[in-house]
Structure 1
């Protein structure tokens, strides 16, 4: 019997989206470490590899949904519209991988099944679904914020004779033209797929559980002159984004909503509505929409008036009318409310008329109506932030399983590390920043890379946060979240979309500027909050 081959490298990176690509580049090209990356997909892209559903679009403007670390890359890249589509993002990431010769460092079509810390060797042992075993001093997890699929358990689903598709596993090139389609889920993905499918399907039935506040995205073509103007000003644009709260590129308002007249408020809201962008509407109009209930209601009331104005049928408008706080991740769309004026689109309010069961021919609601379908699309999102970690067997010191360590509430120190898991880093881990993602990803990867570089230069064998530092960071994130209105509503950003999952704070809501300052201070203060062990200290 042949002994199993164990491959030894300096670092393992799990994931090949924005975070994994940049991590491999930093660790190999800049630190000179032998690095191998894994992704179960057959190519790079991360969430943008899998989410090929019709209408898939970033809600960040094109010029800021990209890497900023390489000036030549910024100057040579281009885009077609103010917002960037999934195919364009995937093409961009593939180009980055090839530009920096990173493809040879990745093993695609390979899923990591376990990562076990070997206490005696002070190494991580990483095993793949192909049975390969790698040992590495460092593990960087870039497994994605939104990649562990949430698939609801509906009675009778296995009897359905039609097709079922989750938007995060959309077959490449799949068309539903001329078919009777049902969609469950009306969040960001749901709105995009609904808006895209409506003109081409025979009939579209939208099962609406929670009506959403949404504003226009404002996607429009850009001219070569507009692109050139942005490229000429990129240094200032990125400086402003990284020194802002949400890093979406616009000037964030500090004006209290109630400090101006109702007429002026509505003028400002209308201006933002006409320009487009969910984050711009929430954070660029007034400075207290996310923290003050009166300001929040002013914004919510404006959107509700738009819903009533746009949707022609009063009963349909009632089913789609959002209520309560405007306090989830702000959505934007390409004509979502207008879709319901089409004769082939029907809204079914499943809070008042729940789904009873799925049958061979479609979905039966409690009123006994069979909604006949050829295809049932699930736009039901993800077990966000920690879902992918929990699906891998990850064990730290003394065999501690990550699920036992987190015990229902994922925690971290600074969103990048967790106690009892030495030299084990996360990109977009629990309680990282709530922003436009590429600038946050760059911030974290650069900090992780700098930390690993520090460890290599100074003979550090193991670095991990103390439990006290992790608890303090969790408390900081909780206090900041509790000062906002986000905690008062059910949202995926607190894990509320997963049945049985304990809602908990999953993000640092203090803004990217403050987050970057904290990260810099921790490093400058000798990695405050970390236990740093030299090679001599950990020698057995």
Structure 2
């Protein structure tokens, strides 16, 4: 790509699932598009999160683009839950099939984006000291793309190796005969811990909050099943549109009260044997709004834990007590609980005795214990939803800095745009279903919406669009009211609430009303002449 081109129509930031589909779709409106990607290759979070055990927690049949029937028929998944490697292979297949690479600049970061009120264009600064301008700026930066490492004294002193699951090296790392400490037991920790335990001489798992985990029961997909899927993709996609999480393989819509008391356990047992968080969540449609249902499910999982883990003290440490099931991210697991039956694995409760410091040779906890380590792995997650945007100095009309505007919490309309930032779209931004849905369905819905906006503007000679402030205010009040009607707000600490990041505003970041309800709202907005948005035309001189 010739970097001497300073002016383009559309700049897309990020070349993951969102950026690639945005490029494909918006290229139908303009050929003058650039995608800026900080990684050395495409994939977004799936490029960076290449740690051992990294795997999608949505079934691969669902976790795929739906916009191309040809891609659906030509690509065949090999596993029920795809590995990070296979997902990257899929994205590369899509990119080659659609000839997307010619519009992507790799190994380049966007460091600033400022709206020029005179030219009505975004001026985008890159980390190579070059600037681009564009009429539209599309942020495909992702909800889980800004890694978070807690600030611990002495982190520069450690003489061993330190890794973070979200920025994993692209070469094989050996843990053989090593003393390894993993900090964090969220989704990444749950996936990497069993892998490290296979080889490490000693593994210490430093856990603050135990995670609810569901066995994956992964398997190789048979050719007969793949053939069935390809014949039935239209029905699967249609079912997904009606499902709260936008998944089409298992979407019964029944509450716990719809089952006879004697049948409730058997339904959960069936879901447990099926495996996977989405299948288990879909047992009852009131898990996230009814305390009684939630407790019934939590008690079922607690009993399963007792049956699998041998040591009662470890069972107690691994049992979530401080939040309802699903109000923090529930995790797909392969051999996670059984890992704690191994003699080379120790579980350290850092809620009772927090990590005090990193030393030259390991970790020191508040109870005075020292842990000698050769390797430290941070599985401490992300500055979710807004972290990647906060890393870019974004300035809109009236010199309004996005970071200042969002200091008390993000303010968007539909999670798609924010006022005072004309022509800047955010794919799956805060205030949209995003992580509470199958992400690719959420991405496609948002990109299609962005296409509708830009196409409408082109047809009508419109220069800029942004949300009206009253529409933005009403939307945030609506999303907060929806969240308050769920059990999500009962989680003491959750990246859904931003409370995993010191100083970050505590609010509920995604839209908790489900994809069907959200999709209908967006469709109604478009049908009502883009109600809530302010359009303007350039002044003719």
Please confirm whether the aligned pair reaches a TM-score higher than 0.5, indicating the same fold.
yes
Residue in structure 2 matched with residue 95 of structure 1 by the alignment? 93
Contact 2:62–2:249 (CA<8 Å) still a contact in 1? no
User: 1-side partners of 2:263 and 2:195: how far apart?
Assistant: 34
User: 2-side partners of 1:534 and 1:183: how far apart?
Assistant: 55
Where structure 2 has 5 or more consecutive residues not aligned to the other structure, the ranges are: none
Residue in structure 2 matched with residue 518 of structure 1 by the alignment? 521
Residue in structure 1 matched with residue 19 of structure 2 by the alignment? 20
Aligned positions of 1:59-458 closer than 5 A: 59-178=57-176, 179-258=178-257, 260-282=259-281, 284-324=282-322, 325-326=324-325, 327-433=327-433, 434-458=436-460
Question: Any idea what the Cα deviations from partners look like across 1:491-519, whole Å, max 9, x if unmatched?
Answer: 11111211221211211111111111111
User: 1-side partners of 2:360 and 2:257: how far apart?
Assistant: 54
Residue in structure 1 matched with residue 538 of structure 2 by the alignment? 535
Contact 1:5–1:132 (CA<8 Å) still a contact in 2? no
Question: Any idea what the Cα deviations from partners look like across 1:374-431, whole Å, max 9, x if unmatched?
Answer: 1000000000001111110100102110011112301211111110111110101111
Contact 1:364–1:370 (CA<8 Å) still a contact in 2? yes
Q: TM-score, normalized by length of structure 2? A: 0.96
Which of 480, 487, 496 in structure 1 is aligned with 2:482? 480
Residue in structure 1 matched with residue 10 of structure 2 by the alignment? 11
User: 1-side partners of 2:534 and 2:302: how far apart?
Assistant: 51
Contact 1:124–1:139 (CA<8 Å) still a contact in 2? yes
User: 2-side partners of 1:249 and 1:87: how far apart?
Assistant: 24
Where structure 1 has 5 or more consecutive residues not aligned to the other structure, the ranges are: none
Aligned with 2:123: secondary structure? strand
Q: Which moved more, 1:322-331 or 1:159-168?
A: 322-331
Aligned with 2:225: secondary structure? helix
Offset at residue 5 of structure 1 (A): 6.5
Aligned with 1:432: secondary structure? coil
Gap change, CA 1:322 and 1:260, over 3 Å in 2: same
Question: Any idea what the Cα deviations from partners look like across 1:508-533, whole Å, max 9, x if unmatched?
Answer: 11111111111111111111000011
Aligned with 2:181: secondary structure? strand
Offset at residue 366 of structure 1 (A): 2.5
Number of aligned residues: 533
Which of 452, 463, 466 in structure 1 is aligned with 2:465? 463
Gap change, CA 1:6 and 1:227, over 3 Å in 2: closer
Offset at residue 167 of structure 1 (A): 0.4
Contact 2:11–2:136 (CA<8 Å) still a contact in 1? yes
* CA-atom RMSD in angstroms: 1.4
Offset at residue 33 of structure 1 (A): 3.8
User: 2-side partners of 1:195 and 1:258: how far apart?
Assistant: 37
Offset at residue 262 of structure 1 (A): 4.2
Contact 1:252–1:287 (CA<8 Å) still a contact in 2? no
User: 2-side partners of 1:313 and 1:235: how far apart?
Assistant: 48
Offset at residue 120 of structure 1 (A): 0.5
Offset at residue 177 of structure 1 (A): 2.7
Question: Any idea what the Cα deviations from partners look like across 1:452-507, whole Å, max 9, x if unmatched?
Answer: 11111110001100111111111111111111101110211111211221211211
Offset at residue 321 of structure 1 (A): 1.5
User: 1-side partners of 2:406 and 2:43: how far apart?
Assistant: 28
Offset at residue 256 of structure 1 (A): 2.8
User: 1-side partners of 2:6 and 2:68: how far apart?
Assistant: 32
Gap change, CA 1:253 and 1:39, over 3 Å in 2: same
Task: Spell out structure 1 runs of 4+ moving beyond 3 A.
Answer: 250-254, 258-263
Question: Any idea what the Cα deviations from partners look like across 1:70-114, whole Å, max 9, x if unmatched?
Answer: 101000011111001101111111121111111110110010111
Gap change, CA 1:350 and 1:262, over 3 Å in 2: farther
User: 2-side partners of 1:252 and 1:22: how far apart?
Assistant: 26
Contact 2:78–2:221 (CA<8 Å) still a contact in 1? yes
Question: Any idea what the Cα deviations from partners look like across 1:291-331, whole Å, max 9, x if unmatched?
Answer: 01010000000101111111101111122121141122222
Contact 2:146–2:384 (CA<8 Å) still a contact in 1? yes
